[in-house]
């Protein structure tokens, strides 16, 4: 193993959190290096941009995703059963390459409701001490919405986020999210065009039920845009190739388009590609991480990169794995309910109802990642939970994001699976269908956690991360309730036919894509007994080690996690700049 010269800050992972964190550090002249295991898909595609609308390559064969043949995960739904490896990643899709999962995302950007930052205190105050079940280890994050709001605002400006504000400095604004926490400014760009399906959903929800749908905010640019760093976006072409694709029009805000090209022009920054991180060099006696061990996948050489500060900013599973393999922090023990590393692992509980409208022409191919119309009446604690038997909720909406020919084949119940009748049904219904989707929250459960699998390892000889996870009773009730509300709206939309109404339930099925919104494992909080990192994301057991990303979330909401992830990453950049100048425990 070859030692390298020390750097001020070493960041593991080259995705969204790492790029935003590095941006703040470099702006303040802090020497920073980022270690990314993949290559640069955007650079490799230069000169071949028309090939990006290749559904087989990118959507079906998952060209931007982690290779399960090298590294995957195992699953067991309860401790008595054996774990089994996921031979193909389907339920969720970690990215590989510069930009990480932020390169293949749809671009949906949300500010979580303010109650999420102190959820345990919120539910206790509203519903009483007994409202939270004993097997649900909810905890406060130790940070407030007011602290994060300036960083939400900065992220939206950096990524040219589109939308319509619902609450500006306490004033409710027409057409936006009426449940939104107060914000200082309107979105940098106006929202995308509303789809025909979105118009039908909105009119029905307002007229029949009095709900207040609004256009989804997102990082799909409605026009040409220049961000505060001088990075440019083009206008969205509504081509329906956002999720799992590189944007041909340079209209999707991604880290590889807006962060890393700017960073690599700065004197204090280095991005090293094809660096597979193997572990952390941890001095337990001193309570410090001395550096990061990694394998250069091009040369085959192993290196030690020392760092004054080390930051884990990778995917949820990777952040947790590096702490567990490095023996940094106490692994979670579900039997005793003690320990912290791996606890509070959460997913999201999603469902949908297909809607077939024979007399409405919906043109699903005229879409983008954020051409969604959403309502928040049944998310978080926006409604009274008294007597319902569950906590949490979900966002409900119509999200027409693609009409791609291979996967966009929503057909009425009873359609044959092949043959002439199948072809006829495809032609008949292609432009006449949509779906109402529910994106449900997932709160922690004592038996949902991450640890290291004792039997399976990856291509580098390291143990695989084991998901101990199933959909528990609280989340089954959330899904049943929210899917029922979605069904009421679907029937009122005048559907010719509806698809099956099936709330999400157990057992958890890894064969079905359910979203890459995976959180927990390295929770933040004010108490070292229940959290891995402090509210400043500083590891309790290692002063110079920080962790950022969705892994620090103590639960998962009914909205995409990128907004709070980005705000925390930008804030951490400012905090680490303070630490570099004056090391110690941050407050």
Cβ-based burial of 286 (10 A; exposed 0-12, middle 13-18, buried ≥19)? exposed
Which sign does the torsion angle of CA 378, 433, 499, 509 carry?
negative
Q: What pTM did the predictor assign?
A: 0.97
Instruction: Tell me the catalytic residues.
Output: 517
**Which CATH class for the 2-46+60-68+93-581 domain?**
alpha beta
pLDDT (tens, 9 = 90+) of the chain, 587 residues, equals 899 999 999 999 999 999 999 999 999 999 999 999 999 987 776 665 556 788 988 899 988 899 999 999 999 999 999 999 999 999 999 999 999 999 899 999 999 999 999 999 999 999 998 999 999 999 999 999 999 999 999 999 999 999 999 999 999 999 999 999 999 999 999 999 999 999 999 999 999 999 999 999 999 999 999 999 999 999 999 999 999 999 989 999 999 999 999 999 999 999 999 999 999 999 999 999 999 999 999 999 999 999 999 999 999 999 999 999 999 999 999 999 999 999 999 999 999 999 999 999 999 999 999 999 999 999 999 999 999 999 999 999 999 999 998 988 899 999 999 999 999 999 999 999 999 999 999 999 999 999 999 999 999 999 999 999 999 999 999 999 999 999 999 999 999 999 999 999 999 999 988 889 999 999 999 999 999 999 999 999 999 999 999 999 999 999 999 999 999 999 999 999 999 999 988 88
Cβ-based burial of 370 (10 A; exposed 0-12, middle 13-18, buried ≥19)? buried
Which sign does the torsion angle of CA 408, 413, 419, 424 carry?
negative
State the Cα–Cα distance between residues 180 and 164, nearest whole angstrom.
11
Domain positions in the chain? 2-46+60-68+93-581
Nearest to 37 by CA among 13, 5, 7: 13
| N-terminal to C-terminal alpha carbon distance within the chain | 36
Query: How would you classify the pairing of strands 232-233 and 449-457?
Result: unpaired
State the Cα–Cα distance between residues 279 and 295, nearest whole angstrom.
10
Q: How many residues does the chain have?
A: 587
Cβ-based burial of 129 (10 A; exposed 0-12, middle 13-18, buried ≥19)? exposed
List the structure tokens of 29.
């002249």
């Amino acid at each position: 193993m070859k030692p390298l010269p020390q750097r001020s800050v070493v960041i593991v992972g080259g995705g969204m959190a790492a790029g935003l964190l590095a941006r703040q550090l470099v702006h303040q002249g802090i020497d920073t290096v980022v270690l990314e295991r993949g290559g640069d898909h955007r650079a490799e595609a230069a000169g071949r941009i028309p090939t990006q609308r290749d559904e087989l390559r990118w959507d079906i064969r998952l060209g931007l995703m982690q290779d399960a043949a090298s590294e995957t995960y195992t699953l067991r739904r309860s401790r008595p059963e054996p774990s089994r490896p996921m031979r193909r990643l389907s339920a969720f899709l970690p990215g590989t390459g510069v930009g990480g999962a932020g390169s293949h995302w749809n671009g949906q950007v949300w500010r979580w409701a303010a109650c999420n930052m102190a959820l345990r205190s919120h539910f206790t105050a509203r519903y009483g001490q007994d409202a939270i079940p004993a097997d649900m280890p909810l905890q406060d994050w130790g940070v407030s919405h007011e602290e994060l709001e300036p960083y939400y605002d900065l992220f939206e400006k950096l990524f040219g986020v589109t939308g319509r504000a619902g609450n500006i400095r306490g004033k409710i604004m027409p057409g936006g999210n009426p449940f939104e926490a107060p914000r200082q400014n309107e979105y940098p760009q106006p929202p995308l065009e509303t789809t025909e399906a979105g118009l039908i959903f909105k009119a029905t929800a307002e007229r029949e039920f009095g709900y207040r749908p609004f256009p989804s905010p997102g990082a799909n640019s409605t026009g040409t845009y220049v961000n505060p760093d001088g990075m440019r976006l083009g206008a969205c072409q509504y081509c329906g190739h956002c999720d799992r694709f590189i944007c041909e029009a340079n209209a999707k805000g991604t880290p590889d388009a807006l962060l890393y090209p700017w960073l690599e022009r700065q004197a204090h920054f280095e991005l090293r590609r094809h660096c597979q991180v193997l572990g952390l060099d941890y001095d337990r006696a001193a309570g410090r991480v001395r550096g990061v061990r990694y394998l250069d996948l091009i040369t085959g050489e192993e290196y030690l990169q020392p760092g004054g500060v080390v930051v884990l900013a990778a995917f949820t599973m990777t952040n947790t794995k590096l702490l567990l393999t490095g023996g940094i922090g106490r692994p979670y023990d579900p039997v005793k309910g003690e320990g912290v590393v791996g606890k509070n692992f959460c997913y999201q509980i999603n469902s949908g109802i297909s809607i077939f409208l024979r007399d409405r022409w919906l043109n699903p191919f005229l879409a983008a990642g954020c051409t969604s119309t959403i309502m928040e009446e049944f998310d978080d604690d926006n409604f009274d939970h008294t007597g319902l038997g569950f906590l949490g909720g979900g966002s409900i909406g119509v999200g027409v994001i693609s009409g791609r020919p291979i996967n966009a084949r929503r057909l009425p119940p009873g359609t044959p699976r092949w043959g002439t009748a199948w072809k006829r049904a495809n032609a008949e219904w292609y432009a006449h269908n949509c779906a109402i989707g529910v994106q449900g929250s997932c709160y922690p459960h004592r038996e949902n956690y991450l640890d290291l699998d004792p039997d399976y390892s990856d291509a580098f000889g390291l143990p695989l991360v084991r998901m101990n996870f199933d959909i528990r009773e609280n989340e089954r009730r959330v899904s049943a309730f929210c899917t029922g509300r979605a069904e009421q709206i679907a029937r009122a939309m005048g559907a010719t036919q509806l698809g099956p109404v099936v709330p999400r339930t157990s057992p958890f099925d890894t064969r079905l894509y359910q979203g890459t919104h995976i959180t927990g494992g390295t929770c933040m909080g004010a108490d070292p007994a229940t959290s891995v990192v402090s509210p400043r994301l500083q590891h309790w057991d290692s002063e110079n080690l920080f962790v950022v990303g969705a892994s620090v979330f103590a639960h998962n909401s009914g909205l995409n996690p990128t907004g709070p992830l980005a705000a925390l990453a930008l804030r951490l950049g400012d905090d680490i700049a303070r630490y570099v100048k004056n090391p110690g425990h941050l407050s």
